[in-house]
């Protein structure tokens, strides 16, 4: 099947029917109480093509917590800074461990493996904080610019829930501080980090926000170049190798798209020069990725024949 013959809406409708047997086989992220109460049978999916076409199914316009997908957008911001050498402070390799692991970070002297595990994202947020007087607002404004939706906001209940149960993230930040890889005051830094993870979005908004990675760094929504072509390519490479934690190999094998997941149940993926696609379903697999969302994306690339491979 070629791209030009794909009935995207029809494919989405088929997927919505075919994923039904997978509901109830995962589990919401219960270590963040505000996420544990989201109905597990929610499902939405959105495609946005580089030509400007949009296709939606299910709960694609419902808001959910962006969580770790926010790491993608803070990385995009930091790579836009001139003269910042982010890669002296964070690596570019898959972790092979849990996204909030302390063991590897200790062994590697406070340098996180990549910017998409929690430790790496905290370093990226620290770099962003060094360039901004109001980092939380800057992160939110950047995402709203990319999504084109001014209603994307911080869910204060989720942010508070994360703060009250963020002991592991505090440990990561303090450990990195002991290796001089964190400069900001840790309470302030963690407040920004928890708030960026508590941004609300929808599949429709998320697909739009990720379009620069499908368009060589250009945002058709903001009508401006967000990244260089080189940086867009490099982020896509990192998404493929690091975007789904220690399940990246399985995801590349079954789906074949650069992608980023979050424990709110969202996944966003791109096919450069073609489209971005976002899916949301809150029940997670054992790796912390949306179980139904992963299956939906596998069905999508199988049915359409569209992937990077």
pLDDT tens digits, one per residue of 88-97: 999 999 987 7
Is position 161 annotated as part of the catalytic site? Answer: no
Lowest-pLDDT range, 63-67, 132-136, 218-222, 260-264? 132-136
- Mean of the pLDDT values across residues 297-307? 97
What CATH topology corresponds to 3-304? Beta-lactamase (3.40.710)
Residue 192's closest CA among 279, 128, 146?
128
Structure tokens given for 177: 């501080």
Which residue among 263, 268, 270, 279 is the active-site one? Answer: 263
Please work out, in degrees rounded to the nearest 5, the angle formed at the alpha carbon of residue 259 by the alpha carbons of 256 and 260.
150
User: pLDDT-derived band of residue 106, with 50, 70 and 90 as boundaries?
Assistant: very high
User: pLDDT-derived band of residue 69, with 50, 70 and 90 as boundaries?
Assistant: very high
pLDDT tens digits, one per residue of 157-175: 999 998 998 899 999 999 9
Is position 193 annotated as part of the catalytic site? Answer: yes
Which residue among 11, 90, 143, 193 is the active-site one? Answer: 193
Which residue among 50, 70, 71, 292 is the active-site one? Answer: 71
- How much is the pLDDT for 1? 39
- Mean of the pLDDT values across residues 84-113? 90
- How much is the pLDDT for 132? 84
- Mean of the pLDDT values across residues 283-297? 96
- How much is the pLDDT for 4? 55
Average predicted confidence (pLDDT) for the chain? 95
Cross-strand partners of 201: 64
pLDDT tens digits, one per residue of 9-60: 999 999 999 999 999 999 999 888 889 999 999 999 999 999 999 999 999 9
Which residue among 68, 70, 281, 294 is the active-site one? Answer: 68
> Where do we find the tokens 């945002």?
219
Do 277 and 270 meet the contact criterion of CB atoms below 8 Å apart?
A: yes
- How much is the pLDDT for 279? 98
Contacts by 173-178, CB closer than 8 A, 24 or more apart:
173/122, 175/102, 175/105, 175/106, 175/110, 175/119, 176/105, 176/110, 176/112, 176/119, 176/122, 176/123, 178/110
Is position 233 annotated as part of the catalytic site? Answer: no
- Mean of the pLDDT values across residues 229-255? 95
User: pLDDT-derived band of residue 262, with 50, 70 and 90 as boundaries?
Assistant: very high
d(CA 294, CA 170): 29
User: pLDDT-derived band of residue 2, with 50, 70 and 90 as boundaries?
Assistant: very low
Is position 290 annotated as part of the catalytic site? Answer: no
pLDDT tens digits, one per residue of 172-219: 999 999 999 999 999 999 999 999 999 999 999 999 999 999 999 999
Residue 127 has pLDDT above 80, yes or no: yes
Percentage with pLDDT > 70 across the chain = 99
- How much is the pLDDT for 3? 46
Is position 245 annotated as part of the catalytic site? Answer: yes
User: pLDDT-derived band of residue 83, with 50, 70 and 90 as boundaries?
Assistant: confident
- How much is the pLDDT for 41? 95
- Mean of the pLDDT values across residues 237-255? 95
Which residue among 245, 276, 290, 292 is the active-site one? Answer: 245
- How much is the pLDDT for 95? 86
């Amino acid at each position: 099947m070629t791209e030009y013959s794909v009935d995207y809406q029809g494919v989405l409708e088929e997927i919505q029917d075919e994923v039904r047997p997978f509901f109830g086989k995962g589990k919401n992220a219960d270590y963040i109480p505000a996420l544990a109460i989201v109905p597990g049978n929610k499902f939405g999916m959105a495609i946005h093509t580089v030509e400007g076409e949009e296709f939606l199914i299910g709960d694609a316009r419902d808001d959910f917590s962006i969580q770790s997908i926010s790491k993608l957008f803070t990385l995009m911001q930091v790579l836009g800074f001139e003269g910042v050498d982010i890669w002296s402070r964070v690596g570019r390799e898959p972790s092979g461990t849990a996204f909030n692991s302390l063991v590897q970070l200790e062994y590697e002297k406070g340098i996180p493996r990549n910017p998409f595990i929690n430790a790496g994202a905290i370093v990226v947020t620290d770099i962003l904080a060094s360039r901004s007087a109001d980092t939380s607002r800057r992160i939110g404004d950047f995402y709203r610019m990319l999504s084109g939706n001014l209603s994307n906001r911080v869910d204060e209940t989720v942010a508070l829930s994360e703060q009250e149960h963020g002991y592991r993230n505090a440990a990561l930040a303090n450990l990195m501080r002991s290796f001089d890889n964190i400069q900001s005051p840790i309470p302030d830094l963690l407040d920004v980090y928890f708030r960026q993870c508590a941004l609300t979005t929808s599949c429709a908004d998320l697909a739009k926000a990720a379009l620069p990675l499908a368009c060589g760094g250009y945002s058709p929504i903001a009508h401006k170049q967000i990244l260089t072509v080189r940086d867009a390519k490099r982020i896509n490479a990192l998404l493929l190798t690091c975007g789904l934690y220690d399940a990246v190999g399985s995801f590349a094998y079954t789906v074949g798209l650069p992608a980023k997941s979050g424990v709110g149940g969202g996944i966003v993926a791109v096919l450069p020069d073609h489209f971005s696609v976002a899916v949301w379903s809150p029940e997670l697999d054992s790796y912390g990725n949306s179980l139904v969302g992963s299956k939906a994306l596998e069905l999508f690339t199988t049915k359409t024949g569209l992937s990077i491979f």
